Amino acid sequence: MLFKKSRTIQLDKDNIPKHIGIIMDGNGRWAKKRGLPRSAGHRMGAETLKKIVVYCNKIGVKCVTAYAFSTENWNRPQKEVDALMDLLYMYLQQVEEQFAGTNVILRVIGDRSRLSDKINKAIDYAEDYTKNNTGLILNVALNYGGRAEITEAAKLAANALSKGEISEADITEEYLSSLMYTKNVPELDLIIRPSGELRLSNFLLWQSAYAELWFADINWPDFSEKDMEKAIVDYQARNRRFGKV
């Protein structure tokens, strides 16, 4: 008699994406469904990030870039912006509890000039507290926009050119990559966007050139380790051609 083997998904340990970008979307809808304020969704989303980062570190992902606040999110009602900033501050303030024993290195990417002094101090403290860890690098993208990042790189290049530090021929893709926030982390392999929206919303525009994209109809606060595993298994089944045959 033949028994059908139940198929379990298996991660290929030799093909774990090195760098995963996550657009943490759907917090508001998660809260609305439960009759809660949007801020409750954001709070739950922060918990989810911690859980997913711990899982990614365990399976050998080197870097996670998590989109927490975009350059366009300032256009939300002031009350929501304030609630998000308060939550970010709290998250950073609790760096000891949040990151103790995780071996995760926390870094913030994005334009910090528009963030309050209080938040900037908390970022400095949190980055310093985790800087000697040796595990996964967690880039939290705050006041981040892909276009702003590329514009900033163009300004840095123009500045170096006008000072005679470089010549026009030095402005290569590699050079511009070295001016991006992701200069010290592996190439982006995979972008995950939950919530059902099928767009990048200004996330990692330069880095996503050959990243695989994975979308799901799950709101971020509901995203589980199993969902992450499924995304990676799907990623591993893709044929990344990079323009070749």
Catalytic residues: 25, 73
Nearer to ligand IPE, 15 or 116 (CB): 116
How is residue 40 written in tokens? 């409750």
Site string for ligand IPE, 81-120 (x = CB under 6 A): ---x------------------------------------
Which span (20-28, 54-62, 130-138, 206-214) binds Mg ion, by CB under 5 A?
20-28
How is residue 61 written in tokens? 């992902």
Query: Least separation, in Å, of the C-beta of 13 and ligand IPE?
Result: 30
Which span (106-114, 123-131, 194-202, 205-213) binds ligand IPE, by CB under 6 A?
194-202
Query: Least separation, in Å, of the C-beta of 197 and Mg ion?
Result: 7
Query: Least separation, in Å, of the C-beta of 24 and Mg ion?
Result: 9
- Binding of Mg ion by 149 (CB under 5 A): no
In the list ligand IPE, Mg ion, none, the entry touching 18 (Cβ below 5 to 8 angstroms by class) is none
Give the Cα separation of 75 and 26 in Å (integer): 17
DSSP the chain: ---PPPPPP---GGG--SEEEEE---HHHHHHHTT--HHHHHHHHHHHHHHHHHHHHHHT--EEEEEEEETTGGGS-HHHHHHHHHHHHHHHHTHHHHHTTT-PEEEEES-GGGS-HHHHHHHHHHHHHHTT--S-EEEEEEEE-HHHHHHHHHHHHHHHHHTTSS-GGG--HHHHHTTSTTTTSPPP-EEEE-SS--S-TTSSTTGGGG-EEEE-SS-GGG--HHHHHHHHHHHHTS---TT--
Nearer to ligand IPE, 150 or 176 (CB): 150
Query: Least separation, in Å, of the C-beta of 29 and Mg ion?
Result: 8
Nearer to ligand IPE, 129 or 215 (CB): 215
- Binding of Mg ion by 25 (CB under 5 A): yes
Q: Which of these, 52, 115, 126, 51, lies nearest to 86 by C-alpha position?
A: 115
- Binding of ligand IPE by 40 (CB under 6 A): no
Site string for ligand IPE, 48-87 (x = CB under 6 A): -------------------xxxx--x----------x---
Chain residues in the site for ligand IPE (CB under 6 A): 23-29, 67-70, 73, 84, 195, 197, 199, 201
